[in-house]
Structure 1
């Protein structure tokens, strides 16, 4: 496609749309389809994939009850899933960027579901461990390929990418909600009930790949340069955000019970408030970024986290603190989807690698650091954990100040998938 400097020409915006629809700089289709219609398949796929990330910790207590595993053995199951999902993601991202492997998202979500589902049916601890490792590997396969495919559909719209990112938050939230009743009623073998969603979504993704592979090409840039320095800074911001998320997610229930003297039921409501706030914050972050800029939104998000966590820490009672939990969830997750897209903008020739780091590796590192808060809670109580959490965002705030806005280079070419599923 020849470059054009005429106003309204899609090429002058650096975006090539293959179905004849125009896109604005923000990536909105004119008149086109809504972001939800474009992103619904990828949002649902991300939700199902991350459902299995949440299914593993939800099922671990039932392995202890039904199989009489020790606490060390139980923690080993979580370690297997974490290793499988975290370590391979950068390498999977490199493969996604160098080869046409659009089928990998379908294979990944299927493997994630089948591995986690079969784990409850086998009797050998080694077999359970290997199946959960395979499930984690499936998650690792999905994120880079899914992030690249979602970006192809979203174009330059951060709002559209926020729908994809929010799908993962929804899946993580739904895992204990759906799994706990089944596990209580049927035991650990109930994990098999969660295999069908993975198979169905994997089939839909494979069909989508077969239908659109002739129209969707790797994002290329004739003058684009990968900017690793700001990407590394961005990765640091995401690690801090992930530490905050896992810190609150792990200890918010215990904080309600031990410090605010609430019932276990109300503690569960507090966790739900935080996670629902996270979904809202993810979606809001995308909308804000389309209006004010990507880096500025990350800086705004990291700035509001501090007062949000302070509000949670000083709330006088369990019911008042529920509102603070929602606010904290929103604040912690405002930068989430923005960091995903900004990472891809910093590495324009490596969208799979960028997605593998921002959606996978950096998030997993945050989860691995979170047990440090367990040591603090053991020594000083859960209130000390939330006191420390109030100071953690300051590091992200400093790092975010060094994030530049991505520059669009005239002549860049982006291939955008506008074929509806």
Structure 2
């Protein structure tokens, strides 16, 4: 199967999974409205989706390092959708936590293996990996629109309709998996990954991803409430803020992959974190409709590093690609969900502005960590062949063929 077609299918499938990560935060205002949850209780919903995911993703990553498990893609997609679809059917808080936790496990199982499959299908191309990540960002962006369209129409009892993207996503990934299976014994991606692990840089990268996660998850959980306060708008104002936050992430991911074709990944990530410091400060302190501009800037700044950090993690740990993907996409990202209840508790005791102010420090810490990180070499088996080697006679972009 041609690389572009494989990446498109994987990208759409990624969107069908990550719509459920965005759906959890999007459902929070409806849980508050229909069930009178406090800020702390509402943020506990996000915690439930993140907690098991934070532990499970590295576990699934370690398992995929031992043996490829492509069947996880369709199965985990369906599981992620079912959990969210069932979360609105019971007024029981424990059952709601259980269902969103099930969805979190599905999302956890999907990401390490899908990152491995996408890297093979992309042949090490930053742009292709950017488009794969772009699909996930689109899923995030569509989530508040999908949830609002369904739940605002008929209430939480209509939540079973939210399973539709999971069914679509599970079907779309099947042709890619069949193509990879057919080429597994002869294709260039079949070679085993080798190289020297740079554990110190991987630890620094992981800590930077934690900082990014705290900022992003904290904002995604409470930005709807905060935008309504700052603009004096209603539910539509909050939904628009969440949509801008997620849509800006999609733009940031594509921008990041393009910038990485001109400069090295570490430089691109470092500068994006530095710019994001001012953008988050704008969200917290600038009143009125201007908040939407700073939400967009923050989203772009936090998502320029997204796909680049995945490939950096894989290249820092070339002998443990699944584990690197699981930790980067799972454990470190999900820690943001663990911090959300703390933010909620501070907001209940003081104000949302006070609770969100510490988030300004998170991208600053990420920038400091990246200052001492080197640009790793890309594993040779992922580098796209030269024109003479692939028989096409078409020149590949140097940044994608040889650049680390």
Q: TM-score, normalised by structure 2?
A: 0.84
Deviates more, 1:212-221 or 1:276-285: 212-221
Name which of 378, 384, 390 aligns with 2:360.
390
Aligned pair count?
Answer: 381
Q: Kindly name which structure, 1 or 2, has the bigger radius of gyration based on alpha carbons.
A: 1
Alignment of 1:52-201 (within 5 A): 52-59=20-27, 62=30, 77-121=45-89, 129-201=97-169
Deviates more, 1:241-250 or 1:282-291: 241-250
Distance 1:247 1:87 in 2: 19
Shift of 1:142: 0.3
Does the 8 Å CA contact 1:262/1:318 hold for their aligned counterparts? no
The 1:391–1:79 alpha-carbon spacing in structure 2 relative to 1, beyond 3 Å, is closer
Shift of 1:174: 1.5
SS at match of 1:100: coil
Shift of 1:119: 4.1
Deviations 1:157-188 (A, max 9, x none): 22211111122222122222112232233332
Deviates more, 1:73-82 or 1:134-143: 73-82
Distance 1:357 1:327 in 2: 26
| Structure 2 residue 192 is the aligned partner of structure 1 residue 220 | yes
RMSD (Å) for aligned C-alpha atoms: 3.0
| Structure 2 residue 274 is the aligned partner of structure 1 residue 339 | no
Shift of 1:124: 7.1
Does the 8 Å CA contact 1:259/1:383 hold for their aligned counterparts? no
Distance 1:80 1:143 in 2: 18
Deviates more, 1:281-290 or 1:352-361: 352-361
Give 5+ residue unaligned stretches, structure 1: 1-18, 20-31
Give 5+ residue unaligned stretches, structure 2: 391-404
Residue aligning to 2:200:
229
Does the 8 Å CA contact 1:219/1:348 hold for their aligned counterparts? no
Does the 8 Å CA contact 2:276/2:298 hold for their aligned counterparts? yes
Deviations 1:351-388 (A, max 9, x none): 22122122222111012113333344344433334543
Residue aligning to 1:377:
347
Q: TM-score, normalised by structure 1?
A: 0.80
Shift of 1:268: 3.2
Residue aligning to 1:359:
329
Shift of 1:314: 4.7
Residue aligning to 1:205:
173
Shift of 1:101: 1.0
Shift of 1:43: 1.1
Shift of 1:346: 0.9
Shift of 1:33: 6.0
Does the 8 Å CA contact 1:270/1:322 hold for their aligned counterparts? yes
Does the 8 Å CA contact 2:7/2:128 hold for their aligned counterparts? yes
Deviations 1:317-375 (A, max 9, x none): 42233222211211122111111111111111222212212222211101211333334
Q: Whose helix fraction is larger, Structure 1's or Structure 2's?
A: 2
Distance 1:73 1:247 in 2: 14
Distance 1:344 1:165 in 2: 15
Residue aligning to 1:10:
none
The 1:416–1:280 alpha-carbon spacing in structure 2 relative to 1, beyond 3 Å, is same
Does the 8 Å CA contact 2:112/2:322 hold for their aligned counterparts? yes
Distance 1:249 1:79 in 2: 13
SS at match of 2:9: helix
Deviates more, 1:388-397 or 1:370-379: 370-379
Distance 2:359 2:32 in 1: 30
| Structure 2 residue 242 is the aligned partner of structure 1 residue 271 | yes
Distance 2:42 2:291 in 1: 32
| Structure 2 residue 280 is the aligned partner of structure 1 residue 280 | no
Deviates more, 1:109-118 or 1:133-142: 109-118
Does the 8 Å CA contact 1:306/1:393 hold for their aligned counterparts? yes
Name which of 34, 50, 62 aligns with 2:18.
50
Does the 8 Å CA contact 2:343/2:356 hold for their aligned counterparts? no
